[in-house]
Amino acid sequence: PNPAGGRGCTAYDVVVNSGFFRTLQADPLYLEFFLTVAMEGLSEKYGVELELTGWRVLRNRKFLGSISAQNIRARPRPHIQELPG
């Protein structure tokens, strides 16, 4: 059934490393925990109210609509410099 009751709804794609996703799939409780944390993060970041139940992991699709290239931010590494004296 359509959770929006025939009305339109907004979908958010969450990009997850494939190895980590296999770990999540192996443990339904861990998957639910991860998705709850991800949805709470989206809710806080974008100021939207999300329903924490009724989520779905797509089985035969990796995403809805079109997906754009993703960049992974690298954490800056500390620069070690030897000072004279």
Unique residue bearing structure tokens 């699709």? 61
pLDDT at residue 71 in the model = 74
CA 41 from centre of chain: 9
Number of domains in the chain: 1
Q: How far apart are CA 12 and CA 45, in angstroms?
A: 13
Residue 9 domain flag: no
Pairwise pLDDT comparison (84 vs 74), residue with the higher score: 84
Q: Is residue 64 part of a domain?
A: no
Domain of 34, in residue numbers: 27-51
Q: Which tokens is 39 given? A: 């949805």
Where would I find the H helices in 1-85?
A: 18-26, 28-46
pLDDT digits over 18-59, tens only? 899 889 989 989 988 998 898 888 889 889 888 877 777 777
pTM: 0.59
pLDDT in tens, 55-73: 777 778 777 677 777 777 7
- Is residue 42 a part of any domain in this protein? yes
